[in-house]
Amino acid sequence: MAFTPEEVERYARHLVLAEIGGPGQQKLAAATVLIVGAGGVGGPAALYLAAAGVGTIRIVDGDTVALSNLQRQILFDTPDIGRSKVEVAADRLQAINPHVRVETIDHPLTTGNVAGIIAGVDVVLDGTDDFATRHAVNAACVAAGVPLVSGALGRWSGQVAVFAGRPCYRCLVPESPPDAETCARVGVVGALAGVIGAMAALEAIKLITGAGEPLTGRLLLYDGLSATSRTVTVTADPACPVCAGPTPPA
């Protein structure tokens, strides 16, 4: 895949990086990334992935833009209120980089349609705040052998992890908490969404290009109030209903 002079200039800061260079940029151009949720995490992640030159960005979200989104969801502007989130996302991402193909899915992801939605993608990035959706995405990724980048946030803290096979997200969160703390319930500082979304995009770029060491099987915890972070290892659950292998015969 040859780059045009315009693309060489556009991606110049990547092309001089030893860990990316021409081969890595070609991998980005050939890649398809699915973003589940065009909200606080998915929005900034989508912006950075489009700017990075990911060839196809598939984005699924059934919501429309609301005024309360604008405090943290930087894909959207005030005139976008009432519009489909994925429609606005497509306009913004292609304005940033016309070389990127944006595929929009303007309805919620469910257990019934998730397999079709992730078909053909290289990486899935999940930024939703709904545990049922997260578990459905995780199960589909494990079944399809697709790496999953997971980002979440609330109040002043956030987390990013990468799952590829075992352990999986279900090992980390076995069940949906009955009183899950969503941003709508507990609040969130807007700038934190940019931090976690950018971290999630960075992990996706590393997975695609083979650069560095992704957070595979690890969870990065970021505390915005104290400006500290730590990384912990996610332990595989031997009884996980999603990623544990079949029980060998006696």
Q: What is the pLDDT of residues 39-61, one digit of tens each?
A: 999 999 999 999 999 999 999 99
Give the pTM: 0.94
pLDDT reading at 209 higher than 50 = yes
pLDDT for 187? 86
> How crowded is residue 106: how many other Cβ atoms within 10 Å of its Cβ?
15
Predicted confidence band at 181 (pLDDT cuts at 50, 70, 90)? low
pLDDT in tens, 99-124: 999 999 999 999 999 999 999 999 99
User: Over the chain, what is the mean pLDDT?
Assistant: 94
- What average pLDDT score do residues 193-214 get? 98
Instruction: Dig out the tokens for 152 from the structure.
Output: 């979440």
Predicted confidence band at 6 (pLDDT cuts at 50, 70, 90)? very high
pLDDT for 57? 98
Virtual torsion, Cα 187, 191, 195, 201, nearest 10 deg = 90
pLDDT for 250? 35
Share in percent of the chain as helix, strand, coil (round to 5): 40, 20, 40
